[in-house]
Amino acid sequence: MSEQFWNKQVVIVTGGSGFLGSHVVEELKANGAGKIIIPRSKDYDLREKSAVMRLFEDNPDVTMVIHLAATVGGIGINREHPGIFFYDNLMMGTLILEHARQAGVTKFVGIGTICSYPKYTPIPFKEDDLWTGYPEETNAPYGLAKKMLLVQSQAYRQEFNYNSINILPVNLYGPRDNFDPKSAHVIPDVIRKMMDAKEQEQGYVSLFGDGSPTREFLFVNDAARGIVMAAENYNSSEPVNLGSAFEISIKDLVEIIADEVGFDGELRWDISKPNGQPRRKLDVSRAEEEFGFISQTDFREGLRETIKWYKAEREMLKNETIS
């Protein structure tokens, strides 16, 4: 990546203090970004037109927007709040892209989701298959709302010749992930459950579904690097998958986490809970061909880094509680 390119950029990173966003900000800094602006939700509610307009009025020198802000979560919270997940994500994406265009921002980087793919997409998921069916029901409102950002991007390029791109990261994991039991995705949720069970000397953990679905996971540092590479080098509104090309069943994933955490209790699968999409594995060739991205982090090593970070966080919270 080119420091000469990045030191001229003034970049708004929505969601820049979140899980993926904080790693993207670090990657931008490492590449010499001239100025990075992270709008806080308490100052700018990105679901509100007036707040989005004010964001660009307050920062007239912005050259790029990387839109990472989103309302996200695992299967459980998607089922509880489909309306909120649809509305929040649709409004944020629509307003940010429109007002970036109106403000004359040179480039917009939209971050979509593989939840936008149809439930029964052929394996591996190719970008051209995005429109062959309806998404998996448990997260369809979220997936469709994020998919509209792609439609908007392509429409704006067609009508206004606006340079907007759309990146579709696979399931992410890594340090600073969300471990909240109400909204965590599968990897942090299982890590937390097993650590809790060990501490409480509970002989089992309960897990969603039957363990048969497969998933592909991308370490968050790799995702951040891929997004920044695309922001510099990719200039098309055709969507691009960002993944590792490594597929694993949820059952195998859980057993690896148990081994790494040191949990030797019973794994109880709750088949009354949904499995989610049957398989997820991406065709990642477009990212390599268009801007040279290949994931670098070994999956098990990435899990170890995630577990190490979470253990340190738990210890810190315990010490704070004691003091």
**Residues labelled as active-site residues:** 142
Whole-angstrom distance, CA of residue 178 vs CA of residue 281: 23
252: its two tokens: 């195998």
Whole-angstrom distance, CA of residue 62 vs CA of residue 109: 13
Q: Tell me the one-letter amino acid at 311.
A: K
Q: Are 68 and 15 in contact (CB under 8 A)?
A: yes
CB count in 10 Å sphere of residue 245 = 17
Whole-angstrom distance, CA of residue 46 vs CA of residue 51: 6
Specify the DSSP class assigned to residue 187: H
End-to-end C-alpha distance for the chain, whole angstroms: 45
Place of tokens 């509880």: 80
Q: Which residues pair with 248 in a beta bridge?
A: 215
Whole-angstrom distance, CA of residue 319 vs CA of residue 323: 6
292: its two tokens: 């040279």
Q: Are 101 and 163 in contact (CB under 8 A)?
A: no
